[in-house]
Amino acid sequence: MQKCNNCNLPFKWSVIYKSAMWLYKPIQCEKCGTDYKISFPSRYIVSFLTVLPILIFGLILSPFDNEFINILIGLCISFTGSFFIPYLVKYKNVNT
């Protein structure tokens, strides 16, 4: 998990998760108040983990005859994948 560059306080999982879900909302260090925004490549990681499973299962693979089940499985995978987002994404100081 990423730490604050300024004071080394680790960001909380829930803070990063919420930021990613709210369209990459900037986050602020709870201790020193430094502002962070998500790095550009990290936006791709978030999209890959959340959108791709739905596309692959719902549209490309479609392993089941029932379209609804395909999308539901894709949703389950992307929901599970989203739990890893806080470990994978990187944030950078807004001012640097």
Question: Is 32 a residue that touches Zn ion (CB under 5 A)?
Answer: yes
Q: Per CB under 5 A, does 94 bind Zn ion? A: no
Among 21, 31, 47, 55, the residue binding Zn ion under the rule CB under 5 A is 31
Reduced DSSP (H G I as helix, E B as strand, rest coil) percent helix, strand, coil of the chain, to 5: 50, 10, 35
Q: Which residues contact 31 (CB under 8 A, 6 or more apart)?
A: 4, 7, 9
- C-beta of residue 92 within 8 angstroms of C-beta of residue 37: yes
Q: Give the interface segment with Zn ion, choosing from 12-20, 33-41, 72-80, 83-91 (CB under 5 A).
A: 33-41
| Residue 3 within binding range of Zn ion, rule CB under 5 A | no
- 4 touching Zn ion, by CB under 5 A: yes
CB-based contact 47:20 (threshold 8 Å) = no
- Rounded to a whole number of angstroms, the minimum distance from the CB of residue 22 to Zn ion is 20
What are the residues binding Zn ion (CB under 5 A)? 4, 6-7, 9, 29, 31-32, 34
